[in-house]
Amino acid sequence: MENKTNEANRIKNLIDKNRLPQHICIIMDGNGRWAKKRNMPRTFGHQEAMERVKEIVEAATNIGIEYLTLYAFSTENWKRPKDEVDNLMKILIKYLRSELDKMCKNHIKFNPIGDIEGLPKVVVSEIKKTVEKTKDNSKMVLNIALNYGGRDEIIYGIKGLLNDINLGKISIDEINSEMFSDYLYTKGQPDPDLLIRSSGELRISNFMLYQIAYTEFWFSNIYWPDFTEKNFYEAILDYQKRDRRYGGI
């Protein structure tokens, strides 16, 4: 454990703190496969994944990341067996309850994104409690994507935009990409600079489709329950080696 900590700190010290990505988003993938390799139920993988969430949130806070978005439960995940979905909801509640004091201590603002009202009532209640308790925190915004789909978010934004047009608040000629961003779940936040995906899959999986137009991608073969602070720092270090031109020269 000490060697792993030393290696994580070594890589952390190589990072230029003046050139950090402002917003990092993560597709946390591979929990079930991680558990299967150990002849354990998928729920065991999800439970271990929660420990990695704690580790990465703390690492992001300590190094100075301003926005961290974690893809926790997609609109497609309802297709999974009911027992697995129920356990995921229980793990989420456990996480919110166990980490609330730490969020407040570390000045982390909790911000759920997705169709939150479509979740079980007990989960919604816990989410709203966490939002209320952390609303004045300002060191880092922690977005947790729950019952989230990128296409659904765009439709959600279009509906909001059309509603304001019908109310006469804006005109069609005023619409541009910056304005539309304010109708998404991530209103008021910068687009992600870096997207990390674990488990070796090379796809976006309906995640933040509008916001990642110029996001840098970093893919890892590591299953999420094995993804550590060291890997997180490696992704940031690799990001800092890239030349972001945004279509320019």
Q: Which two tokens stand for residue 149?
A: 């789909």
29 is catalytic: yes
Distance of alpha carbon 76 from alpha carbon 181, whole angstroms: 23
Q: Which residues pair with residue 217 across a beta bridge?
A: 195
Task: Look up residue 69 and give its amino acid.
Answer: T
Burial tier of 242 (Cβ tally within 10 Å: 0-12, 13-18, 19+)? exposed
List the catalytic residue out of 9, 29, 137, 182.
Answer: 29
| Phi and psi torsions of 154, nearest 5° | -65, -40
List the catalytic residue out of 77, 106, 137, 206.
Answer: 77
Q: Evaluate whether 189 touches 23 at the Cβ level (below 8 Å).
A: yes
- CB-based contacts of 145: which residues, under 8 Å, 6+ apart? 69, 70, 71, 72, 73, 74, 112, 113, 114, 207
- Annotated catalytic residues are 29, 77
